[in-house]
Structure 1
Amino acid sequence: MAGISSRLIIVLSFLILEGTASAQKKSKQQPLRLFLIGNSFSQNASKYLPEISKQGGHQLIIGRAEIGGCPLQRHWDSVAVNLADSSRGRAYNGRSLKQLLSEGTWDVVTIQQASVFSGDLATYSPYARNLYNFIRQVQPNAKIVFHQTWPYRADAKMFGRINGNVFAKDQKEMWIYSRSSYHSMADSLGIQLIPVGDAFWKVASDAKWGYKKDTTFDHKNPVYPHLPTQDHALNIGYFWDKDRKLAFDANHANDAGCYLAGLVWYGFLFKENPRKVSFVAPGIPEDFAVELRKVAAGVLKKNTK
């Protein structure tokens, strides 16, 4: 018994030392400094990223240059105006993109197209390249990447543009054109993509996990506070506004969509497996959370081949 006890003490001591070393390693890890140039979609995608990162033992600092609905053109136009006259072009709460980017050293800087223009490749030029060159001047050592935004929910009233004033006819077409445009521009710039749009489509197109419209709900005569069933939706969808009127948002991510996007970002930034994440965003059923982690891991694996 004494021999067994001694061996047990040795094993426990080893595990304690190993755990302590691991904790010390995590505590000494330098924070990843992430800067987002985007809009509400980048805000959605990063909503749960700090909590996911913290749970995984990673420190994260996020900087932002975000304007609601802002496309690449508007981001670049603000830079061009500011370069010509430093008192103008301060589009981010009175500050310029150059000012924000110059605050310390950023490890990763992301750019994205506004979702409504994401399927129209012509809307990316020359703005994406101009922004890329500008970021490279201000932050020469930063890794610049594209955030691939997502398609709108299947029951959206309208989808994104794919060619001038031509709009995608459905969710799948929006995803296909958006994906193609992001990849074409990323390849042209020689940068990587954070494949959030692919993850959204993977869930939406799944026979079991994809959102299906509730055909039993009377949309013409809704009664507060009842809402249609929206199981497995990744977009906000139907909700009651402050005036108790039934509102609809098929574009922005709900908590499940924000969680999925955060998982993809986490896996991309830290080279971690999203399936090992234990944090779950509020209100997401455990079985659905498991599926979202699986999807995030799958699209990252596919995009790194």
Structure 2
Amino acid sequence: MIKILAIGNSFSQDATAYLHDIAKAAGKDTKVVNLYIGGCSLETHWNNIVADAALYDYELNGQSTGSKISIRQALQEEAWDYVTLQQVSGDSGILSTYDPYLGNISKYVREYAPGSEQLLHQTWAYEIDSDHPDFAKYHKNQGEMYRAITEAYHKLAKESSLRVIPSGKVIQELRALPAFDYPNGGISLCRDGFHMNCLYGRYALAATWFEFILQDSIIENTFLPGNGEEVDRSKIKLIKETIHGLRLFELLFTPGQSLSYDFDK
């Protein structure tokens, strides 16, 4: 069994909603846990660690359990294979907001889950007409926000020697395709201007994590979101082909090579 723990918020909730289901369709046994507090920043995560606060909704395999848990309790629950860390979306492109919290949390994870690989989860830019108050930090410009997030995660990956799950890059790549080109008549990958569309956006994120973490191809995977009833299979096929074309499954650690994703290729 592959065990994945996300220390995040609603953006990791979006990313993990379908991951267990996609893995199951591929015959892979997984345990996927998301620690959820809406809008939770790295600073708040660290403060909760210091207080050992059991404030997180414990989400298992994409479903709420109704249980509350602390980060320490979650880390001690399993011998995790992967632990993901991320900044709150509005601050993801502001490098100064990561220090010292990311380093402190990473050190804490190493203490309580020494056998895990820590991964940085790159968040995505808001939709062009998002009314999220933090969009103003990027002059309400999606391209500016994406570039700021990309630069921040690229720098952090180099400094911390952690690999980056390039969710933000995948979403931006999909937005360039006619089907998801929202300004020109395509559907938005967001449901409210910043959270992911529950069908295609969440599916794209889970497929990204699947190829990146589980090192398998999404192309022949049979899982469909929404019970397959309301989904446009041509759009799912397009998402699969786009993600697989980025060759995320090749991003393995090789001694002497960079652990960070080449966001510019």
TM-score normalised by the shorter chain: which range applies? 0.7 to 0.9
Q: Bigger shift: 273-282 or 185-194?
A: 273-282
8 Å contact 1:155–1:213 — kept in the other structure? Answer: no
Match of 1:287 in 2: 234
| SS in structure 2 at match of 1:34 | strand
How many Å separate the matches in 1 of 2:215 and 2:7? 22
Unaligned residue ranges in structure 1 (runs of 5+): 1-30, 83-88, 215-229, 237-248
Select the residue among 88, 98, 120 that pairs with 1:114. 88
Do the aligned residues in 2 keep the contact of 1:33 with 1:60 (CA within 8 Å)?
A: yes
SS in 2 for 1:77: helix
What corresponds to 1:210 in structure 2? 180
Q: Which residue among 114, 117, 120 is the counterpart of 1:140?
A: 114
Relative distance call for 1:205 and 1:231 in structure 2 (3 A) is: closer
Which of 28, 37, 41 is the matching residue for 2:7? Answer: 37
CA distance change for structure 1 residues 303 and 173 in 2, over 3 Å: closer, same or farther? farther
Is the 1:159–1:171 contact (alpha carbons within 8 Å) kept by the matching residues of 2?
A: no
Separation in 2 of the partners of 1:158 and 1:63? 27
Displacement of 1:278: 2.3
The aligned residue for residue 76 of structure 1 is 46
Kindly provide the amino acid, as one letter, of the partner of residue 235 in structure 1: C
Match of 1:259 in 2: 203
Other structure's SS at 1:252 match? coil
Correspondence for 2:245: 298
Match of 2:222 in 1: 278
Are the aligned partners of 1:159 and 1:167 in contact in 2 as well (CA < 8 Å)? no
Distance in 2 between residues matched to 1:131 and 1:37, nearest whole Å: 10
User: Is the alpha carbon distance of 1:55 and 1:128 closer, same or farther for their aligned partners in structure 2, counting shifts above 3 Å?
Assistant: same
8 A contact 2:126–2:193 mirrored in 1: yes
Q: Which amino acid aligns with 2:153?
A: Y
1:72 and 1:294, CA in 2 relative to 1: closer, same or farther beyond 3 A? same
Q: Would the aligned equivalents of 1:118 and 1:160 in 2 still touch at CA under 8 Å?
A: no
Runs of 4 or more off by more than 6 Å in structure 1?
Answer: none
Q: Secondary structure of 2:194's partner?
A: strand
What does residue 199 of structure 1 align with?
170
SS at match of 1:274: coil
Is the CA contact (8 Å cut-off) linking 2:212 and 2:249 kept in structure 1? Answer: no
Is 1:233 aligned to 2:188, yes or no?
Answer: yes
Once residues 202 and 303 of structure 1 are traced to their aligned partners in structure 2, the CA distance between those partners, rounded to angstroms, is: 18
SS in 2 for 1:62: strand
Q: Which runs of 5+ in 2 are unaligned?
A: 58-67, 252-261
The DSSP-based 3-state class of the residue aligned with 2:77 is coil
Write the distance in 1 (CA, Å) between the matches of 2:221 and 2:133. 32
| Aligned counterpart in structure 2 of residue 174 of structure 1, from 145, 153, 171 | 145
* Equivalent residue pairs, number: 238
Question: 2:225 is paired with a residue of what secondary structure?
Answer: coil
RCO comparison, higher one (Cα < 8 Å, 6+):
2
Structure showing greater radius of gyration is 1
Q: Distance in 1 between matches of 2:161 and 2:45?
A: 20
Q: Is the Cα–Cα contact under 8 Å of residues 38 and 65 in structure 1 kept in the other structure? A: yes
Classify the secondary structure of the residue corresponding to 1:250. Answer: coil
Q: Greater CA deviation, 109-118 or 292-301? A: 292-301
- Cα deviation digits, residues 276-304 of structure 1 (max 9, x gap): 22222232311111110112113344983
Letter in 2 for 1:127: Y
Give me the whole-angstrom Cα distance separating, in 1, the residues matched to 2:131 and 2:176: 18
Give 2:232's aligned amino acid: P
Cα deviations across residues 181-200 of structure 1 (Å, max 9, x unaligned)? 11211221101011111010
Q: CA RMSD in A?
A: 2.1
Contact 1:159/1:174 (<8 A) preserved? no
Deviations 1:144-198 (A, max 9, x none): 001111111122235756xxx8424311111111111112112211010111110
CA distance in structure 2 between the partners assigned to 1:202 and 1:159 by the alignment: 24
Contact 2:215 2:250 in 1 (8 A): no
Q: Sequence identity of aligned pairs in percent? A: 29
* Residue 158 of structure 2: aligned partner: 187
Deviation at residue 50 of structure 1 after TM alignment: 1.2
The verdict on how the C-alpha distance between 1:159 and 1:177 changes in structure 2, with shifts beyond 3 A counting, is farther
